[in-house]
Amino acid sequence: MENWLVEPGTGGSQQGCWSEDRSDTELVEPGTGGSKQGCWSEDRSDTELVEPGTGGSKQGWSEDRNGTVWYQVERREGRCGNTLEFSCGGTQCPVGQDCISVGGTLRCADPCQNYTALNDDWRSTTNNNQVNGGLHCDQSINFQGWYRLFLGHTSVQMPERCVEINMCGTHAPLWLTEPHPQLSDRVVQRGVCGSWSGNCCSFKQPPIHVKACYGNYYVYKLVPAINCHLAYCADVNTKVCSTCRDDDTCRSEDKITWRCERKAPTPTPTPPRITVTTTNPPIMAPEVVCGQSMIQVGLN
């Protein structure tokens, strides 16, 4: 059921300042523990609060699954999509950081350094559940914070292509509908789809957050699957990306075969050419002044 901000006790939607009427949680201002009189309805399509009737992002409150609190999120334009910025307990987080539970305390932190390893071999894009057995679903998984995908001891990433049904140890494999971000993009939002019955996006998931990290890996802020059996995939073909050097980038034209490629060097700016015009002084010819000379003559 779609939840909107409603006037408590009425059960109906209200385009006004009402806290969320939900049995298990309400919109609260971080650090206060009290109800937030939020003026924005919740858009379940992207799990963000949006101004009613606009369909656009508002600097409102977004749910942090980590602690069931709502923190402020601001969306800004980036190179390859929208860059997201967060605040935590009234503190504006630096660009690229999120409100993360570190040692049991929510604070601004870098997801690239504060993540959980998601190491399930059954998530491999080559694992057919009908052949190898085992049927998995991420609907009941309580994802908290950020995750980095591994297959064995090798870091991998989500596929950026439609994955065949019954792969990744599930019925409808979940894949990214947009390219991964670049380092300069910081934290971005990406669409996720599950393929089924010949439709690559038969199941449209709520979008997730993704960040590119130094060392050629990515971290993901995942949300539970909307149905069963759906599960996030780990692309086995991207294992090669873990071998790339820091000054390399991992590229693929078909999203199947990946390779390490040297990043184009940053061009060195050419200093402006300065032309100095000088005016030579005229050459002064020696001037001879003729005059009388006094000669002393002595007579004997």
pLDDT(213) > 90: yes
Per-residue confidence (pLDDT) for residue 83, from 0 to 100:
80
Of residues 110 and 134, which shows the higher confidence score? 110
Sequence-distant (6+) residues with CB within 8 A of 140 are 224
Of residues 107 and 80, which shows the higher confidence score? 107
Per-residue confidence (pLDDT) for residue 59, from 0 to 100:
35
Per-residue pLDDT band at 80 (split at 50, 70, 90): very low
Q: Are 58 and 50 in contact (CB under 8 A)?
A: yes
Most confident of 187-191, 250-254, 295-299: 187-191
Per-residue confidence (pLDDT) for residue 41, from 0 to 100:
32
Q: Give me the percent of the chain exceeding a pLDDT of 70.
A: 60
Residue with tokens 């350094």: 113
* Average pLDDT estimate for 103-121: 95
Residue with tokens 């559940």: 129
Q: For residue 47, what is the DSSP state?
A: T
Per-residue confidence (pLDDT) for residue 77, from 0 to 100:
38
pLDDT(132) > 80: yes
Using left for φ > 0, alpha for ψ between -120 and 50, and beta otherwise, residue 215 falls in left
Of residues 292 and 78, which shows the higher confidence score? 292
pLDDT tens for residues 157-209? Answer: 999 999 999 999 999 999 999 999 999 999 999 999 999 999 999 999 999 99
Per-residue confidence (pLDDT) for residue 298, from 0 to 100:
52
Per-residue confidence (pLDDT) for residue 247, from 0 to 100:
79
Of residues 106 and 20, which shows the higher confidence score? 106
Pairing relationship of beta strands 172-176 and 187-196 according to DSSP bridges:
antiparallel
Residue with tokens 């071999």: 121
Nearest to 129, CA basis, from 173, 174, 175, 166: 166
The domain locations on the chain are 1-109, 116-262
Per-residue confidence (pLDDT) for residue 170, from 0 to 100:
96
pLDDT(238) > 80: yes
Question: In the predicted model, what is the mean pLDDT of the chain?
Answer: 74
Per-residue pLDDT band at 222 (split at 50, 70, 90): very high
For the full predicted model, state whether its pTM sits above 0.75.
Answer: no
pLDDT(279) > 80: no
Cα separation, 18 vs 36, in Å, equals 8
Alpha helices (runs of H) in 210-299, residue ranges in sequence order: none
* Average pLDDT estimate for 104-132: 94
Q: Are 241 and 259 in contact (CB under 8 A)?
A: no
pLDDT tens for residues 13-68? Answer: 333 333 333 333 333 333 434 333 333 333 333 333 433 333 333 333 444 443 33
Question: How many of the other CB atoms lie within 10 Å of CB of 180?
Answer: 20
Of residues 114 and 5, which shows the higher confidence score? 114
Of residues 130 and 117, which shows the higher confidence score? 117
Q: Are 244 and 260 in contact (CB under 8 A)?
A: yes
